[in-house]
Amino acid sequence: MKKAEATRLHILQKAFELIYVKGYQTTSVDDILATTQVTKGAFYYHFKNKDEMGIAIINEIMKPSLINSFIVPLQQQENPVEAIWQLIHHLLMKNEFLKVAYGCPAANFTYEMTPWNSDFTQVLDELARQWEKVMIQTIERGKKNKYIRKDVNARQVTLFIISGYWGIRNFGKLENSRSVYLPYLKELKNYLHSLT
């Protein structure tokens, strides 16, 4: 029972890395088999088909990492302006896993699979909504604690910030250099201070 779980996880992790770099469509099942050294029989024992594996990657690899890297950091600081800026700054400049050239894994998936694959769209939407929800809470908390003006609309601000994050990662892909992130981050700071 133990070893089987290990190979399943191995497939998911390696496949995620491949897909993050090459995209879902262009990563063939055979590619995954080659890099994992897993045979086709094993692969299709664990997954009904390629798409089921794709969904599993989102649920079992990306979702947990979303919570660790995108959600918990928001909840660990009292000042939401600081929390949000630190989070985005860390995601763009410090996070060793998220590479500039390859963009945001969730956004990549979204662009590639939406709207023609509704299963993917739904699971990805859940991911986005989760981040959105927590950021709204963070801002509302900040309003109560007087870090942020009362007339600020938390959901509006959240959508604005998350959109900006996704978009700047698109820029990063194009220019393949973290340097585009810097002016963006400066302006994000200005914007966040305009909310105080």
Q: Summarize as ranges the residues that interact with DNA (CB under 7 A).
A: 1-4, 7-8, 27-31, 38-42, 44-46, 48-51
Q: Where are the alpha helices (DSSP H) in 147-180?
A: 154-175
Residue 62 is a binding residue for its own copies (CB under 8 A): no
CB closer to DNA out of 16 and 131: 16
Region binding its own copies by CB under 8 A among candidate stretches 7-15, 87-95, 139-147, 177-185? 177-185
Q: Which of these, 134, 66, 133, lies nearest to 106 by C-alpha position?
A: 66
Residue pair 95/105 in contact by the 8 Å Cβ criterion? no
Check residue 81 for interaction with its own copies (CB under 8 A). Answer: no
Interface with its own copies, residue 178, by CB under 8 A = no
Among residue numbers 141 through 170, which ones bind its own copies (CB under 8 A)?
Answer: 153, 155-157, 159-160, 162-168, 170
| DSSP class per residue in 100-140 | TTT--HHHHHHHHHTTT-HHHHHHHHHHHHHHHHHHHHHHH
- Looking at residues 14 to 33 of the shown chain, list those that interact with its own copies (rule: CB under 8 A): 21-23, 25-26
Question: Position of tokens 């299963």?
Answer: 119
Residue 195, SS3 per DSSP? coil
Helix (H, G, I), strand (E, B) or coil at 49: coil
Judged by beta carbon distances under 5 to 8 A according to partner kind, the member of DNA, its own copies, none in contact with residue 188 is its own copies
Rounded CA-CA distance 130/127 in Å is 5
Structure-block tokens of residue 59? 């649920």
Give the binding site for its own copies (CB under 8 A). Answer: 21-23, 25-26, 101-103, 107-108, 110-112, 114-116, 121, 124-125, 128, 153, 155-157, 159-160, 162-168, 170-171, 173-176, 180, 183-184, 186-188, 190-191, 194
